[in-house]
Every structure is written in C-alpha cells, then in structure tokens.
Chain A
Amino acid sequence: MRDGINLARRGVPAVALVTEEFLPQSVFVARAAGMPDIPRIILPHPVAGTGREAMRKVAESYVPAMLSALGRPS
C-alpha cells in the first residue's frame, strides 16, 4: 500500500495489489497515509508460495484490471 501511495505522490500512476486477508489493513494504511482512495486490486490469499503456475494464473486474470486502474483501456 505504502509503495503505491508513495508512487502516486510522485505523480506515477499506481495501483496497489492487496490480498483479501490484508484488505482491512490496506483500508487503515490508506486512510492513515492520507490517500484513502488509492486504487487497489484485491487478489486472492495467499499468492506467495502457491507455485509458479498458480501465480501465473492470478497474474493473467488480474492484468486487465490493473491496466484499467492505471488508466489504460484493457
């Protein structure tokens, strides 16, 4: 979350990736850091450690949403 917020503050289009277990923390951090509406995409939990194949599938299925959130047509 903080990486996304710091990038956005520098004018770089940013979207934060958050797994669903960390959604409440992301809401808290975004509010505390003064950017409650930072775009974010909620990924399933866990992603890390699930293996290359599973991670590739997650990446493929969320890339359109990421591009869209970054302001490009998907």
Chain B
Amino acid sequence: MTATETPRPAAGSDDGWLRAANEHEAVELLHELGCTDGLPVIVPTPERVARMVLASGLDGDLMLAELGPALGAATVEKIAVAAVMAGCLPDHMPLVVAAVQAVADPAFDLTEMQATTHCTAPLVIVNGPLAPVLGVHAGFGALGPGFRANASIGRALRLAMINIGGGRAGSADMSLLGHPGKFTYCLAEAEDASPWEPFHVARGFEASQTVVTVIGAEAPHSVIAIADRDVDPGGDRILNALAACVASVSTNNAVLGGGMAVVILNPDHAATLAQAGLSRADVQTALHARAANRRSVLTGQAPAMARRGDPDDLVHCFASPDDICVLVAGGGGLYSMVMPSWCAGPHRNRAVSVAVDTDQACVIPGLSGG
C-alpha cells in the first residue's frame, strides 16, 4: 500500500490527537508527517505512552530539557513517545531520559550539531550496573544489529532529536550525507573485560552509578593492530595505529583542532596496553602526544582552515589528553575503533555524562516486555 493509494486522516486535528483506522495506517501517517527515521515505528498510543511515563516514575508533563534547533520542550511524555516509537521497553526509559538530558546540556552544542553539514551523531555510552541488567550490549558486534537495548535506546534519542528538537533531514538537519549511526549509536562499556576502572569512574562518577555519556561523533573507523606481546610489548604499534587514525588530516579534529574523539579499544588491545604498564590516563596521554601533524602538512592540505604559525610546529589535534575518550568494548581481536568528532560548535562539541536516576524509576510487574 502506498501513501497515494489510501486517503490519510488530516495531520493533527482540533483536539491535538492523530487518528488512524488501524496500526498500519498509523505508521504510514507518522511516516508521512516526517515523524519517523524512515523505518517503521511502534505507534505511540496513549496507553503505550502512559506505560512508558509510569515506568519513568516522573510526571508526564515535567519538562526536563529544551532541544534545539526547534527549542522543543522535552517533557517526560514526549520523551516517552520517542521511546515507544523506537521500540524501547519501559525499563529502558531512565536511560533514554538521561540521554536526552545529556544532549540538552549546552556543552553538547545540540542546536548547532543538528544543523551542521557535518555527519556528527550522538554516540551513547552506557556504564554501570544497569547496563547488563537492561541488556545494553558491550561485546562482539556492540555497534551492530541484533541487540534490542542498543538499537532502541539510541533510536529513541534520535527520534526525540527529530520530533522534539526538529532535526529533520533537509530542513533543519543539513548533514551532507549523514552516517548510519544517526539511526542508532549506542553501546555499553565492557567493564568486565577492561583492565581499567570503568569509563564513568574515570569521568568522576561512582562505580555504583549507572551513567549515560553522549558525544557527537563521526561514524566509527576501524583500526587494525596486532596485539602481539612478543612483537609489540609496549603496545606502541597499537598506539601508533590509533593515533594515525584519530589524527588523519581528513578529520575536523586535525584541521580545525580541538574538540574530542572516542577511542574504543577491543579487550585484547586494552590488555596489551595494560600489561605494558599503561593506565587509561597513560593511553590518553600517549594518544594526545602522537595525534599531531606538522603545520606545513595542515596548511598545505587545508590552507583556509589550518591554524597559522611556524610551518615546522607539531600541531596537536586535541587540547588535552582528557579530550580523547578511551573505553573498552567489543570482542577481542585485531580491531579497535576510532570516532573523530565535528568539534566546531561553540563549546567544541563536548562529551556530557548524566547519572541515571534510578530512585524515581519503578519496575512494574507485567509492564516489562512491552
């Protein structure tokens, strides 16, 4: 059935409700109104939304944030609509709420990020005890298909950014190509497989807290390095491979300088670095030092944008080692991943972490499972 074959209900009505004859028609109507990401959604009926709101433990009309560029009011109910549409379980709602609050932090530069021609998308990183309980996957294929919590929580944030924040492709969202992470881009850190303290602890939270961190990121770029303790006992080759990728002269971080980036080490790479005696902070420091380009290379490549100075200077991509977020996830093997960032917003596109408020959320018997 195509949109032209079937008469559609009017978009909206006097009482503010959308109406459709059945589930199928409702999905088509939501597509037609530009309320989806292009994939089918779960229809946010009043009952389903009310159930999601109930699971949050918060009042539906409580306004948690304002999302740009539309400056839409992110009430608990509107976030619940996005969570329902994305296919979340009610139990996922506290994580979705935290992710929305995180992108609304001014340091995240959401308004500018939603409007830019760059491909940036919020990567959602979940840490803490609730991540495994809710099934947020951290192991093999964590950024790929097959994991309901990763798929639906990241998608809920995107639908909130579209329907509350107004970030529709071609009108407000001017990303020239976008990237597949704009559908969903969510994983947990593999804390059990990491030789270091959890990522959220390194960012100042307690291990017992569940924390959602968001960062505007490019699509992940694979980095190959053999974690061989005979050949590369100090982990130098791993560090060099990661630094070369994050400092590529094609990235905004290299050309414009500043901003942040994400480095996701697979557990084997992390173990090799840890056995060489490196802490997470040591890895960040080493990557910061190596993620640099000769100024003459930058001015030769991007004369209009490269920062001026002595052509022989080594220009670091990042202002501080802390600007390189290092976490551990995925299966063990040859490949780690690097996500450079857009880094051009007024706050240079900062990562933002928000603790999940589990005191309010309630598990209601019979509600989990949709």
Contact = CB atoms under 8 A, between A and B. Distances in A.
A24 B70 contact: no
Interface string A14-45: 00000000101101110011000000000000
Interface residues of B, number: 10
Interface string B167-183: 00011101000000000
B330 interface: no
Contacts of B68: 32
Contacts of A28: 69-70, 166, 171-172
Contacts of A25: 115, 171-172, 174
Contact of A24 (B69, B71, B171): B171
Nearest to A29: B69
B171 to A, nearest CB: 4
Given A28-B166, A29-B115, A32-B166, A22 B174 contact: yes
A57 B129 CA distance: 62
Nearest to A22: B174
Contacts of A33: 71
18 contacts: A24-B170, A24-B171, A25-B115, A25-B174, A27-B171, A28-B69, A28-B70, A28-B166, A28-B171, A28-B172, A29-B69, A29-B115, A29-B172, A32-B68, A32-B69, A32-B70, A32-B71, A33-B71
Interface of B: 68-71, 115, 166, 170-172, 174
Interface of A: 22, 24-25, 27-29, 32-33
Q: Which 6 A-B pairs give the minimum distances between C-beta atoms?
A: A24-B171, A28-B172, A32-B70, A28-B171, A25-B174, A32-B69
Given A24-B170, A29-B69, A32-B68, 17 more contacts: A22-B174, A24-B171, A25-B115, A25-B172, A25-B174, A27-B171, A28-B69, A28-B70, A28-B171, A28-B172, A29-B115, A29-B172, A32-B69, A32-B70, A32-B166, A32-B172, A33-B71
